[in-house]
Structure 1
């Protein structure tokens, strides 16, 4: 069964996804539970339209991108190891602004 979640981008991060802020996703079924770690790679490979290096650095988000899971800082939720659940809302907020 697919996993339905909402992913949102703001603070400029939406520019990486064709300027679309909110996305309803149905992630494909896989053998193990989806973790944020898996979601980041999926977003990079399926949603980021240009300059993926502005979204990810190594296997995590770039410094300067806040990640909220159901409105809580992902640092409180286990960061990359958080297991996604049905109807989760993941928000990526860029805190970096051009000058």
Structure 2
């Protein structure tokens, strides 16, 4: 993952709350540059971001606490720029420069 922006990347902020930060080395907030285009040649969306977070940033082996059936598991609220992801197209939402994506576990007191 590049630590600087180039033409092929998008800068976003990802936040974890409600206990999810434990799965990501107790990091509550990540500033990331992600590829603008995924491996399939499509614009990067939330589904890509979830896979990327699991592969790149999750050091905890309990992936099932974050993902179930290749999507965010039930009980985790996802906010995209403070709006419920259900209003934005869920995991099909195409990520834009400057987006803030918040994952909150409601199962752990979130």
In the other structure, the counterpart of 1:49 is 59
- In structure 2, do the counterparts of structure 1 residues 21 and 35 end up closer, same or farther at CA, with 3 Å as the change threshold? same
Instruction: Tell me the TM-score normalised to structure 1 length.
Output: 0.94
Give structure 2 stretches of 5+ with no counterpart: 1-7
Partner SS for 2:91 = helix
Q: Distance in 2 between matches of 1:97 and 1:74?
A: 20
Q: Distance in 2 between matches of 1:85 and 1:97?
A: 29
In the other structure, the counterpart of 2:45 is 35
After superposition, what is the alpha-carbon deviation per residue over 1:10-46, rounded to whole angstroms, capped at 9, x for unaligned?
0101000011100000012433211111111101111
Instruction: Tell me the TM-score normalised to structure 2 length.
Output: 0.85
Give structure 1 stretches of 5+ with no counterpart: none
In the other structure, the counterpart of 2:23 is 16
Q: Distance in 2 between matches of 1:28 and 1:69?
A: 18
Q: Over the residues paired in the alignment, what is the CA RMSD in angstroms? A: 1.2
In the other structure, the counterpart of 2:14 is 7
Q: How many residues align?
A: 98
